[in-house]
A and B are shown apart, each in its own frame.
Chain A
Amino acid sequence: EDQVTQSPEALRLQEGESSSLNCSYTVSGLRGLFWYRQDPGKGPEFLFTLYSAGEEKEKERLKATLTKKESFLHITAPKPEDSATYLCAVQATTDSWGKLQFGAGTQVVVTP
């Protein structure tokens, strides 16, 4: 059965303290892996799509990487505005377009 597991569940960082979030996945065939950011009371906001092992993408202080079994979201020198829940999702080759399987998320709090 396809599965997406994110760790840790919650992460508290000091401003400037870099860290990584993990997303482990089990899927029959990976079409794409997605990272989203969700603020309280809001909808998920797209960050990255990764398609194959070894791929990396960067956006400001965020960098996403992908292996055959997991993905990491690295947050470099975070700022308080990076506080959010970060969601990982996979799309399987056996599923229809737009059917994403989400992990439970990692709640990140960055304190000044």
Chain B
Amino acid sequence: NAGVMQNPRHLVRRRGQEARLRCSPMKGHSHVYWYRQLPEEGLKFMVYLQKENIIDESGMPKERFSAEFPKEGPSILRIQQVVRGDSAAYFCASSPSGGVGELFFGEGSRLTVL
């Protein structure tokens, strides 16, 4: 019974490059959420997606960041033209429905921007 799978676990990029983080939700889950944890800060909500729909992107930076959850395949968080301030742990969570309750988190993808 696989949990939320994120890859890569660690990613190193130079300033100006693109970073793509992938998330496969738990089996049977159709709701995906991305959170960011900056060094010495708490987890911050970024975006909530259902298959082929962005439900809430109120936590996404206005530029360079985008997310998708296609009909087939994993959810992707894409960061274009990365800067040092993007260095953080990015966590994906999933839930079977959009109701209140437990979010199942993945192990995270740790992005380091040189």
A36 to chain B, nearest CB (A): 8
Seen from chain A, the residues whose Cβ lies within 8 Å of a Cβ on chain B are: 4, 31-32, 34, 36, 41-46, 49, 51, 87, 89, 91, 95-105
Give chain B's interface residues, CB within 8 Å of chain A: 4, 31, 33, 35, 41-45, 48, 55-56, 58-59, 91, 93, 95, 98-108
Q: Which of B4, B41, B43, B95 contacts A98 (CB 8 A)?
A: B95
Is B48 a contact of A46 with CB atoms below 8 Å?
no
- Given contacts A100-B45, A102-B44, A104-B42, whether A44 and B102 have CB atoms under 8 Å apart is no
CB pair A49 B101 closer than 8 Å: yes
Given A49-B100, A87-B42, A104-B41, decide whether A98 and B93 contact each other with a Cβ distance below 8 A: yes
Is A96 a contact of B102 with CB atoms below 8 Å?
no
Q: Find out whether the CB atom of A105 lies under 8 angstroms from the CB atom of B42.
A: yes
Number of A-B contacts (CB under 8 A): 74
Tell whether, in the assembled complex, residue B103 and residue A45 are in contact, meaning their CB atoms are under 8 Å apart. Answer: no
> Are A97 and B106 closer than 8 Å at their CB atoms?
no
Selected A-B contacts with CB under 8 Å, 29 pairs: A4-B42, A32-B101, A34-B102, A42-B107, A43-B93, A43-B105, A43-B107, A44-B105, A46-B103, A46-B104, A46-B105, A49-B100, A49-B101, A51-B100, A87-B43, A96-B58, A97-B95, A97-B99, A97-B100, A98-B98, A98-B103, A99-B56, A100-B43, A100-B45, A100-B103, A102-B35, A102-B42, A102-B44, A104-B41
A49 to B103, CA, bound (A): 10
11 new A-B pairs (CB below 8 Å) besides A43-B4, A99-B59, A105-B42? Answer: A34-B103, A49-B101, A49-B102, A51-B100, A87-B43, A96-B55, A97-B31, A97-B100, A99-B45, A99-B56, A102-B42
